[in-house]
C-alpha cells in the first residue's frame, strides 16, 4: 500500500519536472525526469513482484492489475523513447505521457482493495490477448501525445511565438512521422490481440464471437484506429485535422475502456 502512494508521488514529481523541462529549457530537468522514471520502474517491478497473477496453476487478474499494466507499459515506453530514435523529442513527449501515467496511477488507487477479478484458469492465451490489447492502447497514447504536440506547435507558429520556445518542441514533420509510426504499431498489436482472442474463443467455446459488450468495444476501437491509420497512410486530410481526430477518438475510447472495465461485471473476460 505504501509503495503505491510512493509511486503516485514519484509520478507527480516526474510530471512536474517533465513540464518544467519545456518551460525552463534546462538539461538538468530532463536528466531528473529520466532518473525519476527509472526509479518509478524499479518501484513498479517491486509492486508487480508482490502482486502475483499466477497462483496454484490459475491466472487471477484483479481490476487493479489492469491499471498496473497500463502504467507499467507507459513507463517502459517513456524510458524507451529516451534511448531510441525519438531521443531528441523525449522532453516534449514526456511532458504529455508522464502526466497521463500519473493520472492513471491516481485513479488506480481507488481499486487497490477491490475484490473484483478475472479468473482465467489455465488459459495462458487469454493473458497474451490482454497484453497485446493493452500494448495497442499504450501506443495509441503515443499517437495522442504527438497529436497534442502537433496542435500546440501549429498554434505557436500561427501566433508567431518566440522561435526559442518553438524550438523546444519537435518539428511538425517529426510529429507527423511519430503519429504514423505509433498508429501503425497500435493497429498491429490490436489486430494481433483480436486474432488471438478469436482463436481462443473458437478453441474453448466453439464460436468466433461471444457478443459481449467488451468484445464489441474492442472491435469498435480497432475500427476507429484502422480508419485513422488509413487517413494517415493515404493523406486523406491534413495532419492538423488528423491530429484533432486522434485526440477526440483517444479521449472517447479511453473513457469508454476505463468505464467498461469498471462498470461491466458480466460477459466474456469481465472483472466480476
Question: What confidence score (pLDDT) does residue 267 get?
Answer: 57
Dihedrals φ, ψ of 84, to 5°? -100, -170
Q: Is the dihedral of CA 49, 50, 54, 59 positive or negative?
A: negative
pLDDT tens per residue, range 195-254: 998 887 777 666 766 667 777 888 899 999 999 999 999 999 999 999 999 999 999 988
pLDDT tens per residue, range 124-154: 677 788 889 889 989 999 999 999 999 999 9
The residues spanned by each domain of the chain are: 1-121, 123-272
Question: What confidence score (pLDDT) does residue 123 get?
Answer: 60
Question: What confidence score (pLDDT) does residue 16 get?
Answer: 96
Q: What is the mean pLDDT of the chain?
A: 86
Q: Supply the angle between the helices 27-49 and 90-108 in degrees, to the nearest 10.
A: 40
Strands in the chain per DSSP E = 54-55, 58-62, 117-121
Asked whether 47 and 68 are in contact (CB, 8 A), the reply is yes
Q: How many CA atoms lie within 13 A of 267 on its CB side?
A: 15
Question: What confidence score (pLDDT) does residue 258 get?
Answer: 75
Q: How far apart are CA 143 and CA 183, in angstroms?
A: 6
Question: What confidence score (pLDDT) does residue 166 get?
Answer: 76
* Least confident range of 9-18, 108-117, 262-271: 262-271
pLDDT tens per residue, range 35-88: 999 999 999 999 988 876 644 455 667 788 888 999 999 999 999 999 988 888
pLDDT tens per residue, range 42-54: 999 999 888 766 4
**Long-range contacts formed by 15-23: CB under 8 A, 24+ apart:** 15/98, 15/99, 15/102, 18/91, 18/94, 18/95, 18/98, 18/99, 19/95, 19/99, 21/91, 21/94, 21/95, 22/91, 22/92, 22/95, 22/168, 22/169
Residue bearing the bigger pLDDT, 206 or 159: 159
Question: What confidence score (pLDDT) does residue 211 get?
Answer: 67
Question: What confidence score (pLDDT) does residue 45 get?
Answer: 94
**pTM of the shown model:** 0.87
pLDDT tens per residue, range 163-189: 667 777 888 999 999 999 999 999 999
Question: What confidence score (pLDDT) does residue 135 get?
Answer: 93
Amino acid at each position: 500500500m505504501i509503495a503505491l502512494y510512493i509511486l503516485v508521488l514519484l509520478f507527480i514529481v516526474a510530471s512536474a519536472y517533465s513540464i518544467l523541462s519545456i518551460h525552463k529549457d534546462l538539461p538538468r530537468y530532463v536528466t531528473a525526469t529520466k532518473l525519476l522514471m527509472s526509479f518509478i520502474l524499479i518501484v513498479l517491478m517491486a509492486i508487480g513482484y508482490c502482486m502475483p497473477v499466477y497462483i496454484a496453476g490459475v491466472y487471477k487478474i484483479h481490476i487493479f492489475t489492469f491499471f498496473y499494466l497500463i502504467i507499467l507499459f507507459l513507463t517502459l515506453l517513456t524510458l524507451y523513447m529516451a534511448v531510441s530514435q525519438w531521443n531528441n523529442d523525449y522532453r516534449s513527449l514526456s511532458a504529455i505521457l508522464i502526466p497521463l501515467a500519473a493520472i492513471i496511477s491516481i485513479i488506480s488507487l481507488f481499486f487497490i482493495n477491490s475484490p473484483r477479478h478475472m479468473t482465467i484458469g489455465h488459459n495462458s492465451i487469454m493473458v497474451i490477448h490482454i497484453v497485446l490489447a493493452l500494448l495497442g492502447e499504450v501506443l495509441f497514447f503515443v499517437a495522442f501525445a504527438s497529436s497534442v504536440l502537433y496542435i500546440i506547435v501549429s498554434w505557436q507558429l500561427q501566433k508567431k511565438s518566440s522561435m526559442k520556445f518553438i524550438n523546444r518542441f519537435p518539428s511538425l514533420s517529426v510529429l507527423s512521422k511519430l503519429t504514423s509510426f505509433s498508429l501503425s504499431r497500435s493497429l498491429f498489436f490490436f489486430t494481433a490481440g483480436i486474432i488471438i482472442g478469436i482463436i481462443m474463443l473458437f478453441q474453448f467455446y466453439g464460436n468466433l464471437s461471444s457478443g459481449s459488450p467488451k468484445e464489441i468495444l474492442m472491435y469498435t476501437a480497432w475500427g476507429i484506429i484502422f480508419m485513422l491509420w488509413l487517413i494517415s497512410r493515404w493523406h486523406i486530410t491534413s495532419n492538423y485535422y488528423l491530429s484533432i481526430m486522434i485526440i477526440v477518438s483517444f479521449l472517447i475510447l479511453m473513457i469508454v475502456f476505463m468505464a467498461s472495465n469498471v462498470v461491466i461485471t458480466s460477459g466474456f473476460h469481465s472483472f466480476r
